[in-house]
A and B are shown apart, each in its own frame.
Chain A
Amino acid sequence: DIVMTQSPDSLTVSLGERATINCKSSQSLLFNSNNMNYLAWYQKRPGQPPKLLIYWASTRESGVPDRFSGSGSGTDFTLTISSLQAEDVAVYYCQQYYSIPSLAFGGGTKVEI
Chain B
Amino acid sequence: QVQLVESGGGVVQPGRSLRLSCAASGFTFNNYAMHWVRQAPGKGLEWVAVTSYDGDNKYYADSVKGRFTISRDNSKNTLYLEMNSLRSEDTAVYYCASHDRHFDWLLPFHHWGQGTLVTVSS
Q: Is the CB of B44 within 8 A of A50?
A: no
Please count how many residues in chain A sit with their CB below 8 Å of the partner chain's CB atoms: 28
Q: Is the CB of A49 within 8 A of B112?
A: yes
* CB neighbours of A11 from chain B (8 A): none
Contact with A along B28-57 (1 / 0, CB 8 A): 000000010101000011110010000000
Please count how many residues in chain B sit with their CB below 8 Å of the partner chain's CB atoms: 23
- Choose from A99, A100, A106 the contact partner of B44 (Cβ within 8 Å): A106
Interface residues of A in 39-71 (CB under 8 A from B): 40, 42, 44, 48-52, 55-56, 61
Q: Is the CB of A105 within 8 A of B45?
A: yes
Least distance between A35 CB and chain B CB atoms (Å): 15
* CB neighbours of A1 from chain B (8 A): 62
* CB neighbours of A102 from chain B (8 A): 47, 61-62
Separation of A95 and B114 alpha carbons in the complex (Å): 19
Q: Is the CB of A50 within 8 A of B106?
A: no
Q: Which residues of A are at the interface with B, using a C-beta cutoff of 8 A?
A: 1, 38, 40, 42, 44, 48-52, 55-56, 61, 91, 93, 95, 97-108
Q: Which residues of B are at the interface with A, using a C-beta cutoff of 8 A?
A: 35, 37, 39, 44-47, 50, 59-62, 95, 105-110, 112-115
Task: Sort A-B residue pairs by CB-CB distance and give the 8 closest, nearest first.
Answer: A101-B59, A49-B112, A40-B108, A55-B108, A103-B47, A105-B45, A108-B44, A100-B59
Other than the known A48-B114, A100-B105, A101-B59, what 20 A-B pairs have Cβ atoms closer than 8 Å?
A: A42-B45, A44-B39, A44-B45, A49-B112, A50-B37, A50-B95, A51-B112, A52-B109, A52-B110, A55-B107, A55-B108, A95-B45, A95-B47, A97-B107, A98-B106, A100-B50, A101-B50, A103-B47, A103-B50, A108-B44
